[in-house]
Amino acid sequence: MKTADRGLAQPGAGLVSSLARGDVDPDRVLPLHRDPRHLLGLEGLDRAGILALLDAAETFRARLRTGGMPFDDLRGVTVLLGFFEDSTRTRVSFELAARHLGATVTTLTTAGSAISKGESLYDTVQNVRAMGVDLVVVRHVASGAPYFLARHLDVSVINAGDGRHEHPTQGLLDLMTLRDAWQGRFEGRRLALVGDIAHSRVARSAIFGLRALGASVTIVGPRTLLPAGISELGCTLASTVEEAMEGADAVMALRLQRERMDGGLLPSLGEFSRVWGLTPERVRLLNRDAVVLHPGPMNRGVEVTAEVADSERSVILDQVQNGVALRCAVLARCAAARPARGFDRASIRPNREVA
Amino acid sequence: MRPITLIRNARHWRTGARVDLGFREGLIVENPGAREAGSVIEAEGLMVAPGLVDLHAHLREPGQSVKETIATGTRAAAAGGFTSVCCMPNTQPVLDAAVQVEWVRERAAAVGFCRVHPIGAVTMGQQGEQLAPAMALRNAGAVALSDDGRPVVKASIMRRALEYALHAGLPIVCHEEDPSLKGEGVMNEGFTSTRLGLRGIPNAAESVMARRDVELAALTGGRVHLAHLSCAESLEALRDAKRRGLAVTGETCPHYWTLTDEAVGEFDTAARMNPPLRSAADRDAVIAAIADGTLDCFATDHAPHTADEKRAPFDQAPDGIVGLETALALTLTFLVKPGHLTLERALDLWTDEPRRVFGLRPVRLEPGDQADLVLIDPDAEWTVDPERFQSKGRNTPFAGWRVSGRALATVCGGRLTHVDPAVHVARARRDAAADPAAR
């Protein structure tokens, strides 16, 4: 039925929620997620697709370590970094990755762009597309903004973090880091995810990615920061941080933003760090050889004590380093899958719906 | 005297009997004979019913004619089988003065394709502070009061509004939403909002206000009509009010019995509306409340927007979908076909019941009644194609759906306001004045 093609549920069909249970065809329900030109989220990616990206990232990591840059994998490819929300790590990491691969790179931020003059996101990116951009890496405060671009513009889109939805390249670099720590085996492993799940795009990508690879995820945090129906994503809820961390193979602390105190979500930072912070005592509950991750930027003394952040178990800087190699792999995959076009007239036909 | 227009061989929506119906000068006549007929509409195989009534539509005029106009909105209504539409006052300017209400009625009389009954604002500018002049609004033709889209936040103001509206004898149509519980939510709070990282709106945002207004109806004796109910808890509040014998009525819309929040899929703005699409359990509760008579009637919440406005990231897109041209089919396909309602009862919920709730003149297709009627083929299968809508709005989550049931001809006040090419209209006399399709 045509409605299913659009991802719409006919009454009673329950299409999308059953995706987490794996009994529907994701190509039909999530056509944009599954299009190899884009990387919009880890939801809907299967084990083979994720492992292929991780393998490619390892190859890039080896090449980057050997040196002899730049490479020419992306020669002739124009990449726009559209960062409509503040970012340091992700933007620099994408820019380095694209330049290492020989792409032409240009950066657009909200400040100083036409967006600040009231131009719509659609028009801005459409204009940039007309200038011959092949690939747009987008960071945006609105959940779903990269989907919007993928649906309405004939261009490859990589999600560099959209609102509180997904941050797929972060999710993949976390998987890459965990694969190293776990000697390549995901089955039977467990990650404890601690803190502000509701506002975290990192949490969603981690959950989707780890579930696809056969690992399990336990989440814990203040009830005010746990979104409705989170366990239906395929993870277990723990009632205390100790319960979540006991015997886990890794723990990831999520960044707590200070403005969360305003909406009545939390009494105080001190209370949060006492009840949910990663302390050396709690880290000792983990399995032997378990690692500590943090997507950054860190609030030392809030989600994680300085002692834990700087301990041997911490792989926080490995995450950052893996980020560059991983983004090389993602850029290369999307560039290879894009239709061969670029600076041509076809790209400037307005209102072209590609979804 | 003008000639009669005759509808021949239709099936009566209540009795199922084969009937010939004639009307002249806007009124249904007794025992029409074919010899007096100026025009004859062959209705073999079609059902004749009173014209549908929509208690809740946004016609967008004055002020937002880029989205819809009274002309296009009422044309859409006629195409959907409606002969009366009650339009919401959240226009620019707001319908909070007699002159605004009169303007809408005059405009509708001049360019409209159905009766338009304006709904006046509860408070000036829908600001929730100072009462709008209910008596003047009623005298100008308002059939109800509402601050739709902007709920009256202060309970004290709502109390006074309900008391004062009793003078005018008008119900207050309540868009139930606690703004602080809604927060910056853009869709139903649940698995799908969590999956997509979109801010959620809990059911309680609606039901808390519904409960409040039920209590205020008890306090004041005022008439409360709960608009577009979407969730189980609000339906429970309505049930409770009826058990207590309060003057509280309620409606729901086709999207709440056909869709769940999963329709948002991959951030599809066509599935964004307020109240939002809810869970499967809520959808089932809506169907149960329709079947057991808790809900008094249906409405569309027809809310047209331009393609440009809807072409935005999900949390920046406006709320609302168009509904006038899909309402009947979604009722017949998803309530009558699966056996939740009989066809007769389903039509009552679009005809008799809304007329009763707002105190509009009844239409029973008896001699002397106004000739507001619709010819329906309940089994006609068709595919929803927004490009063929009469409305300016194309924003619908139902594009591409196969549905059954269609209005093939609509007559409003004796005027043929919509006729499908499949219907044969024979014009016996070449008398332009007698042509019911003539303006």
> Of all residues in chain A, what percent carry a pLDDT higher than 70?
83
Residue A33 contacts B, CB cutoff 8 Å: yes
**pLDDT value for A121:** 80
Q: Does residue A200 lie in a domain region?
A: yes
Residue A212 contacts B, CB cutoff 8 Å: no
**pLDDT value for A14:** 33
The CA distance from B408 to B405, in Å, is 9
User: Which residue does chain A place closest to B281, by CA atoms?
Assistant: A12
> Of all residues in chain A, what percent carry a pLDDT higher than 90?
61
- Render pLDDT for B57-79 as a digit per residue (tens, 0 to 9): 999 999 999 999 999 999 999 99
Residue A142 contacts B, CB cutoff 8 Å: yes
Burial A30-49 (b: 16+ CB within 10 A, else e): bbbbbbebbbbbbbbbeeeb
Query: Cβ A9–B263 below 8 Å, yes or no?
Result: yes
**pLDDT value for B438:** 44
Q: Does residue A344 lie in a domain region?
A: no
Q: Does residue A331 share a domain with residue A241? A: no
Q: Does residue A151 share a domain with residue A186? A: no
Which domains occur in chain B, in start order?
4-47+370-434 (2.30.40.10), 50-358 (3.20.20.140)
User: In B84-154, which ranges are continuous DSSP H helix?
Assistant: 98-111, 134-139
Q: Does residue A80 lie in a domain region?
A: yes
By annotation, the residues of B acting in catalysis are: 301
- Mean pLDDT in chain B? 95
> Does residue A344 register a pLDDT over 90?
no
Residue A32 contacts B, CB cutoff 8 Å: yes
**CA–CA distances in Å: residue B127 to residues B133, B157, B158:** 14, 11, 12
Tell me the pLDDT band of A29, cut-offs 50, 70 and 90.
low
- Render pLDDT for A253-295 as a digit per residue (tens, 0 to 9): 999 877 776 778 899 889 999 999 999 999 999 999 999 999 9
Residue A83 contacts B, CB cutoff 8 Å: no
Residue type, B311: R
From chain A, pick out residues whose CB is under 8 angstroms from the CB of B280.
Answer: 12, 14
Q: Does residue A144 share a domain with residue A279? A: no
Both tokens of residue A166? Answer: 């997904």
> Does residue B355 register a pLDDT over 80?
yes
The CA distance from B57 to A322, in Å, is 55
Tell me the pLDDT band of A20, cut-offs 50, 70 and 90.
very low
Expressed as residue numbers, the domain containing A67 is 17-164+322-339
Highest mean pLDDT: which range of A9-13, A300-304, B157-161, B424-428: B157-161
* Cβ proximity of A9 and B259 under 8 Å: yes
- Render pLDDT for A87-109 as a digit per residue (tens, 0 to 9): 888 999 999 999 999 999 999 88
Tell me the pLDDT band of A204, cut-offs 50, 70 and 90.
very high
| CATH number of the domain within which A283 lies | 3.40.50.1370
Cβ neighbours of residue A229 closer than 8 Å, sequence gap 6 or more: B190, B191, B192, B194
Q: Does residue A143 share a domain with residue A179? A: no
Q: Does residue A345 lie in a domain region?
A: no
Q: Does residue A197 share a domain with residue A112? A: no
Query: What letter would DSSP give residue B334?
Result: I
Q: Does residue A347 lie in a domain region?
A: no
**pLDDT value for B31:** 79
* Cβ proximity of A149 and A127 under 8 Å: no
Structurally, chain A folds into a number of domains equal to 2
Cβ neighbours of residue A355 closer than 8 Å, sequence gap 6 or more: A31, A32, A150, A151, A152
Q: Does residue A346 lie in a domain region?
A: no
| B371 C-beta neighbours (distance < 10 Å), count | 26
Q: Does residue A133 lie in a domain region?
A: yes
Q: Does residue A295 share a domain with residue A328? A: no
- The predicted model scores a pTM of 0.91
**pLDDT value for A253:** 95
User: Which residue does chain A place closest to B401, by CA atoms?
Assistant: A3
Cis-peptide into B275, omega within 30 deg: yes
For every residue of B335-404, DSSP letters joined together read IITTTSS-HHHHHHTTTHHHHHHHTPPP--S-TTSB--EEEEEEEEEEE--GGG-SSS----TTTT-EEE
- Render pLDDT for B217-276 as a digit per residue (tens, 0 to 9): 999 999 999 999 999 999 999 999 999 999 999 999 999 999 999 999 889 999 999 999
Q: Does residue A282 share a domain with residue A299? A: yes
CA atoms within 13 Å, Cβ hemisphere of A308: 26
Pick among A27, A85, A143 to test the B interface (most B CBs inside 10 A): A143
Cis-peptide into B62, omega within 30 deg: yes
Of B153 and A116, more confident: B153
Q: Does residue A196 lie in a domain region?
A: yes
Q: Does residue A334 share a domain with residue A278? A: no
| B143 C-beta neighbours (distance < 10 Å), count | 22
Q: Does residue A176 share a domain with residue A146? A: no
Q: Which of B130, B146, B129 is nearest to B89 (CA)?
A: B146
Q: Does residue A86 share a domain with residue A21? A: yes
Query: Cβ A230–B193 below 8 Å, yes or no?
Result: no
Cis-peptide into A297, omega within 30 deg: yes
Q: Does residue A296 share a domain with residue A226? A: yes
**pLDDT value for A21:** 44
Shortest distance between the Cα of A100 and any Cα of chain B, in A, equals 32
Q: Does residue A178 share a domain with residue A137? A: no
